Structure 1
Amino acid sequence: MFEQHFKALDNEIRKDSGVSTEMDYVEQTSWLLFLKYLEDLEKNKSLEAQLNGTSYTPIIAPKYSWSAWAYPKRADGSLDVNKALTGDDLRNFVNNDLFPYLRGFKNRADSAASLEYKIGEIFSELTNRIQSGYILRRMIDIINEMRFQTEEERHELSALYEDKIQNMGNSGRNGGEYYTPRPLIRTIIKAIQPKIGDRIYDGAVGSAGFLVEAFEYLKKSKGDKLSVKDMQTLQNDTLFGKEKKPLPYLIGTMNMILHGVEAPNILHTNTLAENIMSIQEKDRYDVIIANPPFGASEDIASVEQNFPIRSSETAYLFLQHFIKSLKAGGTAGIVIKNTFLSNGDAQSVRKELLSSCNLYAILDLPAKVFTAGVKTVVLFFKKGEPTKKIWYYQLNLNRNLGKTNPLNESDLADFLACLPSFKQTENSWTVDVKDIPQDTFDMSVSNPNKSNEAVYREPTAILTEMAELDSQTAYLLAEIKELVK
């Protein structure tokens, strides 16, 4: 129903000189979708109030509602072209009037947990990049035809929005850090099996894929027995996240909203700026699921002091934060570069993890699970008792992964089947912690069931990978040319 609308939006926005990348497309489409969502939400709230014999005060002032500035209507429901802004008038209103008004919610809101505050947060660092008011008008006309009012409509919109996020993740440059393949996220959640009542946290929320999938999993976990109270718990007291950068904060918030979380508990803050020694019991969570960014993407001098084990690798800092933020008895599933298992800089973090938590499983993933080709593992651990044995599972596939041949849930089905009993197979084995070198705590993946003989790939597989790399290189060169214009 909405696929053609999304295609039409992409066709319009690509004509504008103010946007150039897939990330720009997602960002600019997102704020327009968000404002249309608010319009429909306000209508639903007003209707519910009438049915209950109560009153409802809209969040958005009449002048700034979608139906006032974006799509004023005649009596027959068609666009009132005499009142509808377009061209420079529309662009100037958005930039100089609408955005400042929306940013002001951050100061006017009563609580940081309110939707009003989220509105202010989203628009505080966001700018309208669409330079042509005529293109903006056509985009508004397309979005106005989209509805957020039924479960079916929201489901389709959320699926299409996820596709846009995935395209952004595949587009190169920094897009990949916002997108974790959904089959992997669903598998991590199924492995941990959270329940309604758990507090679930992602301190590097990105596009909120972990929180969205946890929400969907928990909704389905009770089937028809999901009560109103359960839904209130899911909406308000279950899903929590933090995100530093404005673009993923917007995308993550929008993604959760489209999946049915009305006021997402995502804080726009730098997780690593928090001193982990100040984390108290009330700040801890039952479940932590995340794929923290790696590399020296922080001003390390300013954040290192917040951690007892200092490192220039942000992923190692995040892991310390997650260990400290987990309740006793709580469980975590964390995606991290496989070099964590052996890197000398991570030695002290590994020691801390093994001594304070039961690292009961490590899932070793192929390099091409992520489009950047980075080799990763998933650490599964429970806080409160030291590790005695680690069960390893090495995901070996009989095909090469890539953009046109991505990871799917069936690839991970055997892992989920073997995990409960820590089954020993050709691809899984157990290591006693006493057998890990106590001077380095090296936990490198070394499958004892596999020979060390070289494995040669088929020529067609090599040519396919070369073609994918050529495509990525061409994309990056095109982006560089855009940047230097």
Structure 2
Amino acid sequence: MFEQTFKNIDDILHKDAGCSSELDYVEQTSWVLFLKYLDDLEKDKATAAELTGKTYTSIISPEYQWNTWAAPKNTEGKLDHHKALTGDDLKDFVDHKLFPYLRKFRTDAEHANTIEYKIGEIFTELKNRIQSGYNLREVINRIDELRFRTHAEKHEMSHLYEDKIKNMGNAGRNGGEYYTPRPLIKTIVKVVAPKIGDKIYDGAAGSAGFLCEAFDYLRNSKTLSSSETEILQKKTFYGKEKKSLAYIIGIMNMILHGVEAPNIVHTNTLAENLADIQEKDRYDVVLANPPFGGKERAEVQQNFPIKTGETASLFLQHFIKILKAGGKAGVIIKNTFLSNTDNASISLRKLLLENCNLHTVLDLPGGTFTGAGVKTVVLFFEKGAPTQKVWFYQLNLDRNLGKTNSLNEKDLAEFVALQKTFANSENSWAVNVKDIDQTTFDLSAKNPNKKIETALRQPHDIVDEIAALDVESATVLQKIRALL
């Protein structure tokens, strides 16, 4: 049912003049979905309060609640068409009353990690792009069919929302930056192995895939006490995201996974001066996939000791600085980081090796990121002690990766198994840091164990060679007969 509802909504938005791409579909679906989720959340809280004899005060004023403007019901529990706004009336209400009301929550909220603040921030960043009030009515009616009351419903919804983010990435343009393949994220989380009580951070949160997977990993790691559940909800996951759409999608994604008021801040992480980061600002775990190929202005570069316009290199400096001593990280970066010869890259590799134990490098094949032709590696490191030895694993698959043939967890199973003991294999090897060039700190992933395979010849080549030998034999026989 949920899947068909999403398809129907996309069909409606496709017809609307204000929505022109998959990115618009996700954005506009998200804000309506969020308000329906909020309504169900309030109902659950009211029911829980009633069971304990308490009174629940609704976050949203009665005139702005879902069942007042979006889906007023008649005595039979069906949509009351006499009360439900539509057409220009609906669009005017949403644009000129509802959104301004919701935006005020940001300034009125007590602090940033409350659901009230998130409501205000989301609707400050968003605007209603659906131009037809009749299309908007259809979208609302479809979303009103959805329920977020049970864990199973939220679980199914979170998977469908992830699929929408994935489709947005596949659609091209800049959508791909929001989606990191989930099997890869799960593997990175598994290897880093955060524990309850860790503060986990992604400074390039995007759609919050790392934070969502880390939440699922910890939630399923053991039977949680009420205090541990509270810690996961409020004191574990932290993110920053620069782009408005990604910020909104990240918030919505975490909410659907079960985090009620995600600690994601809408800000440019790289605008923060590294010198200003203090011990209280640091995290136990960093999980991230900073943007590929971005270029930063000179004033942003001034915040970093190693000056470079390369966005990912600035993020890596930020992650090293913001980790606590003993903190762990799993960071995706372009594989050229391992071998670039510019001064900034050399300095950054030296910084990483001297300040952290870069214990593992996972070398990924091309096509891992759909729509992005770049090759990437995952750096796994711990802060505090210099690197003595780096263990490499090169993921060699017997197929090309693409939209219809994407990376899966089975592909990465051998890596996870071997990484536990840093075992040598045909696909893995270790390098002593003292053996690498001490002027360039080149860490190129050159597999010394890979078998050199002799390519098998094609049948037609063999036939051609036999024919050529036959001709050569006939010529030799002719010469022999001539001599006799």
Q: Is the 8 A contact 2:240 2:268 kept in 1?
A: yes
Counterpart position of 1:39: 39
Counterpart position of 2:117: 117
Within 5 A, what are the aligned runs for 1:73-84? Answer: 73-84=73-84
1:47, distance to aligned residue in structure 2 (A): 1.1
Distance 1:113 1:454 in 2: 60
Distance 1:307 1:118 in 2: 30
Counterpart position of 1:377: 377
1:75, distance to aligned residue in structure 2 (A): 1.9
Are 2:313 and 1:304 aligned?
A: no
Q: Which amino acid aligns with 2:250?
A: G
**Candidates 226, 250, 254, aligned match of 2:252:** 254
Within 5 A, what are the aligned runs for 1:354-393? Answer: 354-371=353-370, 372-393=372-393
Counterpart position of 1:273: 271
Distance 1:294 1:279 in 2: 24
Q: Which amino acid aligns with 1:295?
A: G
Q: TM-score, normalised by structure 1?
A: 0.92
Which stretches in structure 1 are left out of the alignment for 5+ residues?
459-485
Within 5 A, what are the aligned runs for 1:190-339? Answer: 190-222=190-222, 225-298=223-296, 300-339=297-336
Give the 3-state SS of the residue equivalent to 2:251 in structure 1. helix
What do residues 362-383 of structure 1 show as CA deviations (whole Å, max 9, x unaligned)?
0000011001121000000000
Counterpart position of 1:469: none
1:295, distance to aligned residue in structure 2 (A): 2.2
What do residues 91-132 of structure 1 show as CA deviations (whole Å, max 9, x unaligned)?
111111111111111111110111111111111121111111
Q: Is the 8 A contact 1:294 1:315 kept in 2?
A: yes
Q: Is the 8 A contact 1:351 1:441 kept in 2?
A: yes
Give the 3-state SS of the residue equivalent to 2:443 in structure 1. coil
Compared CA separation, residues 49 and 429, structure 1 to 2 (3 A): same
Are 2:350 and 1:351 aligned?
A: yes
1:297, distance to aligned residue in structure 2 (A): 4.3
Q: Which amino acid aligns with 1:291?
A: N
Distance 2:453 2:171 in 1: 35
Are 2:21 and 1:12 aligned?
A: no
Give the 3-state SS of the residue equivalent to 1:32 in structure 2. helix
Q: Which amino acid aligns with 1:268?
A: H
Indicate the structure (1 or 2) with the bigger Cα radius of gyration: 2
1:278, distance to aligned residue in structure 2 (A): 1.1
Compared CA separation, residues 46 and 296, structure 1 to 2 (3 A): same
- Structure 1 residue ranges, 4+ long, deviating more than 4 angstroms after superposition: 451-458
Provide the identity percentage: 66
Distance 2:209 2:238 in 1: 12
Q: Which amino acid aligns with 1:334?
A: V
What do residues 300-347 of structure 1 show as CA deviations (whole Å, max 9, x unaligned)?
222111111111001000000100111111110000000111112311
What do residues 38-79 of structure 1 show as CA deviations (whole Å, max 9, x unaligned)?
101111111111111112111111111111111111122111
1:450, distance to aligned residue in structure 2 (A): 2.7
Are 2:434 and 1:434 aligned?
A: yes
Distance 1:86 1:454 in 2: 69
Distance 1:21 1:14 in 2: 8
Q: TM-score, normalised by structure 2?
A: 0.92
Q: Is the 8 A contact 1:17 1:131 kept in 2?
A: yes
Compared CA separation, residues 169 and 381, structure 1 to 2 (3 A): same
Give the 3-state SS of the residue equivalent to 1:412 in structure 2. helix
Distance 2:312 2:150 in 1: 40
Give the 3-state SS of the residue equivalent to 1:379 in structure 2. strand
Which stretches in structure 2 are left out of the alignment for 5+ residues?
459-484
Q: Is the 8 A contact 2:362 2:377 kept in 1?
A: yes
Q: Which amino acid aligns with 1:341?
A: L
Q: Is the 8 A contact 1:295 1:312 kept in 2?
A: no
Q: Is the 8 A contact 2:180 2:369 kept in 1?
A: yes
| Number of equivalenced pairs | 455
